[in-house]
Amino acid sequence: MQIVVVNYHAGNTKSVLNALHRVGADPVLTEDPALITTSAGVILPGQGEASHAMQQLRESGLVEALLGLRQPVLGICIGQQLFCERSEEGDTTCLGIFPKAEVRHFNAVSSDPNLKVPHMGWNTLHQLRSPLFCGVEEGAYAYFVHSYCVLPTQDTCAVCEYGGVRFSAAMQRGNFYATQFHPEKSGAVGEQMIRNFLSLCHD
C-alpha cells in the first residue's frame, strides 16, 4: 500500500513523514502527479500562506491531479484551508472541494479585541462525526497552530472554539478528509487518527 505526502514546498512535511513511519507506514514524499494519482492514499500537509501554496500547486500541475483523486485524501492545517472555496489570506481562490467554505482570519470573526493570534497550542475537539475519529473520545485534545479558520459548514465533522469563535476543527466530503489541527503533533489522539486514515486506504 503506497501512501504519498504531497511535496508542494509548504513546509511541515518532515513531521508528517515521521508520524507515518511511527505507525508502520512507508510514505513517499512526491510532487509527481502520476505517483499521487495511483497511490492508495494521499496526504496534503503544510504551513504557510494560502496564495503562495495555491501557486505552488498550480505550477506543479497538482491542482487537476488532486481534484481527480478517488482514494482517501487527508489535508492538514493549510491543507484543510486549501480544500475550501476561498481564503481571505491573499484573497485566494482555493480548490473548492468543500463548497461555500471560506477561510477567515480570527480577528475578522471574533468579537474579542484582545484575542491572541495565532491560535497556538492544545484545544478540545467536539461533535466528532467521521471515520477519522474512530476510537477518539469527545473532548479529546489536539494541537493547533493557525491564524485563519473555517466557520462550520455542512462538511464540518468536528468543531473547536477559540476566542468565542466556533470553527471547523475537521471536515469531510466524500473521500476528502481534513483537519485544521496537526495530527502528527497531537500525541496518542493524533496517532489514532493517522491509523484510522491508513485503515481507510486499505478499504
Helix (H, G, I), strand (E, B) or coil at 201: helix
* Span 147-155, average pLDDT: 98
Residue 203 has pLDDT above 80, yes or no: no
Residue 48, pLDDT score: 83
Which grid cell sits at 69? 483523486
* Span 57-80, average pLDDT: 96
Cα gap 54→30, rounded to integer Å? 16
Residue 67, pLDDT score: 97
Residue 142, pLDDT score: 98
Q: What is the mean pLDDT of the chain?
A: 95
- Catalytic positions, written as ranges: 77, 182, 184
* Residue 182 structural domain: 3-202
- pLDDT tens digits, 92-120: 999 999 999 999 999 999 999 999 999 99
Residue 156 has pLDDT above 90, yes or no: yes
Cβ-proximal residues to 122 (8 Å cutoff; 6+ apart), any chain: 141, 142, 143, 144
Percent of the chain that is helix, strand, coil (3-state, to 5): 30, 30, 35
- Residues pairing with 29 in the sheet: 5
- pLDDT tens digits, 16-54: 999 999 999 999 999 999 999 999 999 999 888 999 999
* Span 160-188, average pLDDT: 97
Distance of CA 167 to the CA centre of its chain: 14
Pairing state of beta strands 148-150 and 41-44?
unpaired
- pLDDT tens digits, 118-146: 999 999 999 999 999 999 999 999 999 99
Residue 202, pLDDT score: 80
- How many structural domains comprise the chain? 1
Helix (H, G, I), strand (E, B) or coil at 15: helix
Q: How confident is the model at residue 9 (pLDDT cuts 50, 70, 90)?
A: confident
Portion of the chain with pLDDT greater than 90, in percent: 93
- CA angle, 147 then 99 then 36, to 5°: 80
What string of H, E and C letters represents the secondary structure of 125-173? Answer: CECCCCHHHCCCCCCCEEEEEECEEECCCCCEEEEEEECCEEEEEEEEE
**Higher pLDDT, residue 9 or 76:** 76
Residue 179, pLDDT score: 98
Residue 194, pLDDT score: 97
For the domain that residue 94 is a member of, what is the CATH number?
Answer: 3.40.50.880
